[in-house]
Copies of this chain bind each other. A is one copy, B any other.
Amino acid sequence: MAPPIRLTLPGTLRYRAIAVRAVAEAARLVSGSTQRDPNDALAHDVRDPFDTAVVSAFMEIFNNVAIHAYSRDGEASTIELTITPDADQIMIEIKDHGVPFDIDGVAPLPEELDEYTLPEGGMGIHIAKTMLDEVVYEPGPPNLWRLRKHLSAPAQQLRNGSSK
Binding site for B on A (CB under 8 A): 2-3, 5-10, 12, 14-15, 17-18, 21-22, 24-26, 28-29, 35, 41-43, 78
Contact indicator A10/B6 (Cβ below 8 Å)? no
Knowing A3-B78, A78-B3, the reply to whether A18 touches B25 (Cβ < 8 A) is: yes
Closest to A80 in B: B6
Copies of chain A in the complex: 2
Q: Are A5 and B26 in contact (CB under 8 A)?
A: no
Contact of A2 among B10, B17, B28 (CB under 8 A): B10
Whether B41 pairs with A29 at a CB distance below 8 angstroms is no
Known A-B contacts: A2-B14, A18-B26. Give 11 more (CB < 8 A).
Answer: A2-B10, A3-B78, A5-B7, A5-B15, A6-B9, A14-B29, A17-B25, A18-B25, A21-B21, A21-B22, A41-B42
Residues of B within 8 Å of A26, CB to CB, are 18
Q: Among the listed B9, B12, B22, B78, which residue makes an inter-chain contact with A18, where contact means beta carbons less than 8 Å apart?
A: B22
Q: Which residues of B contact A22 (CB under 8 A)?
A: 7, 18, 21-22
A43 to B14, CA, bound (A): 21
Cβ distance A104 to chain B, nearest Cβ, rounded Å: 32
Docked Cα-Cα span, A141 to B35, in Å, equals: 33
